[in-house]
Structure 1
Amino acid sequence: MTEPTAFDVATFGEAMLLLVAAEPGPIEHATMFHRRTAGAETNVAIGLARLGLKVGWASRLGTDSMGRALLATMQAEGIDCSHVICDAAQRTGFQFKGRVIDGSDPPVEYHRKGSAASHMRPEDIDEAWLRSARHLHATGVFAAVSDTTLPTALRSMEIMRAAGRSISFDPNLRPTLWAGEARMRECINDLAARADWVLPGMEEGRLLTGESTPEGVARFYRGRGAKLVVVKLGPEGAYYDSDAAGTGHVEGFPVKEVVDTVGAGDGFAAGVVSALLEGRSVPEAVRRGAWIGARA
């Protein structure tokens, strides 16, 4: 007998306070910053919540001002934060980001080593709470944060697979967090093999699989058990390969002026996952993902 579900999507991940420079140029020249939230999983959680899904997020925060601000932000979005551990002995991670206006990659400085979230471990998972979601969204970022977050990510996926829940996975590569490229490739592909829906970017796919085409990247993950692979192609849209709808290509949505591409992939994931959980077709889901990614 299938257990009843209380909410739609659960996710684990590190939230960081983000300080974005108010004017373009090197970060060290900035005199004013705007406060934002950062974190691949939290970006997706917020996107899904705004699209009307019930979302739960599990993590660790310090009880410092940054941790309090992040928790309040997530709660204000209507996200279940009942399994966020707030620990006075740990500190919340943060990052600085330079402002760009030309579509280039912004300069970013991370201050996350030893953060509260990096101390998450498999024992922190409340299995009954996790199984009360009908879907798990995972990324390669949380797995890369520390030696204990990787087994935590793996355990969360094992629990959901055993419960018959669906799982989406976005590689979201952060090479600087891994001991080396070979280790990153091994771990990310192991995580992807545990997911139903895999959402790599083309450049990520090339690095992870050695394939040079969207079709090749999709075949690689389909051959490892994925029911759906969507390969993000930036302005060209996305290519999909699936059990339910075969293969196809969805055109991208034109963006008159690209300001900053950070967060576009998280928006894409929120669009695809939300549409699939609503029961929409694969092409419809990919189209929603492309539209939201362009907006982001």
Structure 2
Amino acid sequence: MAGNGVASIGECMLELSGQAGPNWRMGFAGDTFNTLWALHALSGDRPATYVSAFGDDPFSRDQIDFFARNGIGIGASPIIPGARPGLYAITLTGAERSFTYWRGDAAARQLASDAVALAKSLENQALVYFSGITLAILDDAARKTLLAAVAKARAAGSLVAFDPNYRPRLWGQREEAQTAILDALAVTDIALPTFPDEQMLFGDAAPQKTAERLRKLVGEVVVKNGEEPALIATSGTLQPVPAVHVAAPVDTTGAGDSFNGAYLAARLAGHAPTEAVLRAHRVAAAVVQVRGALAPFETLSAAFED
């Protein structure tokens, strides 16, 4: 039987942001961690676990300490001697961001190296979340190990949520990504795709096409599309829900990830999909008005409950 916790699987990197001349601010972020951050902030007393693999260097220790200070554990995630976290830097043009990555040998690529530890981290979770980036950093054998662990958690009662989050540079070939993402959708209860990603990966002509394609595979689908309406596909219907317009966004980093976290928090709290999307839009709108991927818990909560 599933427990009360929430678990997110993937890679949390060192984030360099807020450049002022030669000076940068260092933080910790990554798509699945950003989602867990919002989900944890908005889920009351649910235990939160970030499932990955970590190094034994000072940066990895700082990362794990940062999680702990904010109420997030690492479950049975392995600590790998000699490994280290990945790194990325955010540069901004106005509010639009671009990224430079150093992640080829990141510890997180070994998150499925111990199948027993991975399965243990996913035990007794109300929700298990992962993304296409989680899949992309793993080789084929590790993806199979991951999906087997997710399927086992789902069979034990966990709700499984997945964002395909397609990043072409992380994949050798588009067809490899298509296959891996379809395999992931086969063990998914809630899909949270972004339309431009799906257009690149599967050639969908419009968000409605994405929703219609995915609802044949997953029972609950929410198609995100920036400031355009999100589209809910559930119970055989398609329903658009307008986004919240932000006249002067500061930094769009993490907006979609925070949307996912807020949506899942609302669904776990018993809200219907439409209400959950409305709350998620408000949270995403609040996130684009702060710098960096992780908005303060108070900012997220205020937007969620507004």
TM-score (norm 1): 0.89
Shift of 1:154: 1.2
Q: Which of 131, 143, 152 in structure 1 is aligned with 2:135? A: 143
Match of 1:191, SS?
helix
Name which of structure 1's ranges 148-157 and 230-239 shifts more when overlaid on structure 2: 148-157
Q: Which of 203, 213, 238 in structure 2 is aligned with 1:247? A: 238
Instruction: Say whether 1:91 aligns with 2:84.
Output: yes
Match of 2:165, SS?
coil
Instruction: Say whether 1:75 aligns with 2:72.
Output: no
Query: Compared with structure 1, are the counterparts of its residues 149 and 105 closer, same or farther at alpha carbon in structure 2 (3 Å cutoff)?
Result: farther
Deviation string 1:12-39 (CA, Å, 9 cap, x unpaired) is 111111111423xxxxxx5100011121
Matches within 5 A, 1:102-181: 102-106=94-98, 108-121=99-112, 123-147=115-139, 149-181=142-174
Query: Which residue in 2 is equivalent to 1:13?
Result: 10
- In structure 2, list runs of 5 or more residues that go unmatched: 288-306
Q: How far apart in 2 are the matches of 1:21 and 1:255?
A: 21
Percent of residue pairs bearing the same amino acid type: 28
Q: Is the 8 A contact 1:209 1:220 kept in 2?
A: no
Code of the residue aligned with 1:61 in structure 2: it is: F
Would you identify which runs of 4 or more consecutive aligned residues in structure 1 move more than 6 Å? none
Q: Which of 276, 280, 295 in structure 2 is aligned with 1:289? A: 280
Name which of structure 1's ranges 182-191 and 272-281 shifts more when overlaid on structure 2: 182-191
Match of 1:189, SS?
helix
Name which of structure 1's ranges 200-209 and 173-182 shifts more when overlaid on structure 2: 200-209
Query: Compared with structure 1, are the counterparts of its residues 146 and 120 closer, same or farther at alpha carbon in structure 2 (3 Å cutoff)?
Result: same
Q: Is the 8 A contact 2:76 2:120 kept in 1?
A: no
Query: Compared with structure 1, are the counterparts of its residues 13 and 124 closer, same or farther at alpha carbon in structure 2 (3 Å cutoff)?
Result: farther
Instruction: Say whether 1:50 aligns with 2:41.
Output: yes
Q: Is the 8 A contact 1:144 1:178 kept in 2?
A: yes
Query: Which residue in 2 is equivalent to 1:218?
Result: 211
Q: Is the 8 A contact 1:61 1:92 kept in 2?
A: yes
Matches within 5 A, 1:29-48: 30-48=21-39
Name which of structure 1's ranges 215-224 and 158-167 shifts more when overlaid on structure 2: 158-167
Shift of 1:207: 2.5
Query: Compared with structure 1, are the counterparts of its residues 126 and 149 closer, same or farther at alpha carbon in structure 2 (3 Å cutoff)?
Result: closer
- In structure 1, list runs of 5 or more residues that go unmatched: 24-29
Q: Is the 8 A contact 1:18 1:95 kept in 2?
A: yes
Shift of 1:210: 2.5
Q: Is the 8 A contact 2:90 2:97 kept in 1?
A: no
Match of 1:105, SS?
strand
Q: Is the 8 A contact 2:7 2:127 kept in 1?
A: yes
Q: Is the 8 A contact 1:268 1:293 kept in 2?
A: yes
Query: Compared with structure 1, are the counterparts of its residues 265 and 149 closer, same or farther at alpha carbon in structure 2 (3 Å cutoff)?
Result: farther
Q: Which of 13, 19, 42 in structure 2 is aligned with 1:22? A: 19
Query: Compared with structure 1, are the counterparts of its residues 126 and 182 closer, same or farther at alpha carbon in structure 2 (3 Å cutoff)?
Result: closer
TM-score (norm 2): 0.86
Q: Is the 8 A contact 1:120 1:152 kept in 2?
A: no
Q: How far apart in 2 are the matches of 1:47 and 1:165?
A: 19
Query: Compared with structure 1, are the counterparts of its residues 208 and 43 closer, same or farther at alpha carbon in structure 2 (3 Å cutoff)?
Result: same
Which structure has more relative contact order (CA 8 Å, sep 6+)? It is 2
Deviation string 1:23-64 (CA, Å, 9 cap, x unpaired) is 3xxxxxx51000111211111111111112321112111121
**Alignment coverage as a number of residue pairs:** 283
Deviation string 1:164-192 (CA, Å, 9 cap, x unpaired) is 32111011112111111121122112212
Query: Compared with structure 1, are the counterparts of its residues 294 and 49 closer, same or farther at alpha carbon in structure 2 (3 Å cutoff)?
Result: same
Pairwise CA RMSD of aligned residues? 1.8
Match of 1:235, SS?
coil
Query: Which residue in 2 is equivalent to 1:279?
Result: 270
Q: How far apart in 2 are the matches of 1:196 and 1:4?
A: 14
Q: Which of 261, 267, 287 in structure 2 is aligned with 1:270? A: 261
Q: How far apart in 2 are the matches of 1:194 and 1:48?
A: 21
Match of 1:19, SS?
strand
